[in-house]
Homo-oligomer: A and B are copies of this chain.
Amino acid sequence: MEIEDWRRKIDELDRQIVSLLSERAEAAQAIGKLKRNTSLPIYEPNRERVIFENVRAANRGPLPDIELTHIYERIIDVMRALQREELASKGANTTRSGDRTGE
């Protein structure tokens, strides 16, 4: 395969990754709504650990676990920002600074 073939493959992979990230964001939003409507605790520190463990367990390379973790730190940051905007737009209590993942 030539460079242009690999780039076309990367572009197709990126479109699939974007689609999955969108689905993931919708699920994070759904959890945010459920937390708002129930008495469940907002802050669940173990959840972030579970996410990273799941990601590392699924990793078959060639990316080292630490690099994949770097990507997931950013993904979790972005999902948290999305939930914060959602909470703020609903006028909910936004002093939940202890909520690391929101998921």
Chain A residues close to B by CB (< 8 Å): 1-3, 6-7, 9-11, 13-31, 34-35, 40, 47, 50-51, 54-55, 58-63, 67-68, 70-75, 77-78, 81-82, 103
Contacts and interface: CB of A to CB of B under 8 A. Distances in A.
Tell me the dominant secondary structure on chain A's binding face: helix
A21 B64 CA distance: 11
Given A18-B58, A21-B68, A71-B78, 18 more contacts: A2-B34, A3-B31, A3-B35, A6-B30, A10-B28, A13-B23, A15-B54, A15-B58, A17-B17, A17-B21, A17-B24, A22-B59, A25-B61, A25-B63, A29-B62, A63-B78, A63-B82, A70-B78
A67 B44 CA distance: 24
B6 A27 contact: yes
